[in-house]
Amino acid sequence: MANRATREAFGETLLELVEEGVNVAAVDADLAGSTTLNKLGAKYPDRFVDVGIAEQDMVGVAAGLSLTGRVAFTASFAVFGVGRCYDQIRNTVCDAGLNVKICPTHAGVTVGEDGATHQMLEDIGMMRALPGMRVLVPADYRAAKAAIRIAAETDGPVYVRMGRHKVPEVYDETFEGGLPYAGVLREGADVTIAACGVEVAQANAAADLLAEKGISAEVIDVFSVKPLAEDVILGSVAKTGHIVTCEEHMVYGGMGSAVAELLAEKCPTPQAFVGMRGFGTSAPGDELIAHFGLDAAGIVAAVEGLLA
C-alpha cells in the first residue's frame, strides 16, 4: 500500500460505521475537506454538522448529540480542536463522561509549511491529563481506522490523534489495536525504542541502522498512550534495561512522560527522550522531522548516548 496520511482513515471509517448501523454523528469546524469528514457529509448529511469556525460550539453540539444516543465525533486541526476548546472538552465532555470522541487531524510538526502556529505539540499531554479521557495515537492509515473503530465502540471520551503527513505502512488490514495496546514490532536485547504515531516508522528504520552497529533494539508501538499497556513496556525494559521514547510531541507531558511515570513507580530504568523541546517552524514535514532530530538518525543518536 502506498504511503497514506492517518487523517485519510477518518471520513472513510465513519462512512463504514454508519453503513454497519452504528449511530454515528460528526461535527466539524469549517475544515471538512482537510479532516475528510466531507465524505460523510456528502453521503449522509443528516449525520454531519458544520458549525463554522467555532470549535467551542463544535464540542458543545457534539455533547448534545451524545445525549440523544449518538456516538459523536468532533474534527478540526489539532491546534484548534484541542487548544481552542479545552474548557468545553474538560468541563462539558469529561466531567460528565459523555460519549464524545475528540479526533483532530494535522497534529505535530509534520503539518509542515503551516508553521508553528498550526503545529500542535502539547495535545497528548493535555488530553491524557483529563480524568476519563483515553488517548490513541495511530502509526499509520490502518492503525487510524482501528483507532476510530475503537473510539466508536468505547463508551465515554476518547482522543484520537491524526496527522496530515503521508506515513509508511506499518500494519496490514488485520490490525485491530485495543485499549490498552502496545505492539512489539521487533524484538531486541540491548535497548527498547517505544514510539507512537509518525515516529513508529522512524523507530523501525532506526533499529535497522542500530543493527548495523551491533546494537539490538526492541521496537514497541505505543498505540494506546492512555491507558498504557503496562505489561508490554515493563516486560521489554526488564529484558533490555534501557528505553528511548519517541514522539512527534513535546517531551513534556506526552507519551514519554507517561512511560517515565510508569517506570518510576514500577521499574526504574535509564530513559532518553526523543521529541520536541520548543515550537516548530515552517518547512516541509520530512525536513522538520530531520531538523528537530525526530528521524531515524536522531533516534540512533539518542540510543547511543543512552547506552554510553
Which sequence positions are flagged as catalytic? 55
Under 8 Å between Cβ of 23 and 153:
no
DSSP string, 245-282: EEEEEESSSSHHHHHHHHHHHH----EEEEEESS---S
- For residue 45, count CB atoms less than 10 angstroms from its CB and return exposed for 0-12, middle for 13-18, buried for 19 or more: exposed
Q: Report angle CA 19, 24, 29 to the nearest 5 degrees.
A: 120
How many other C-beta atoms are found inside a 10 Å radius of the C-beta of residue 122? 17
Under 8 Å between Cβ of 298 and 127:
no
Integer CA distances (angstroms), 216 to 208, 270, 304, in order: 9, 16, 12
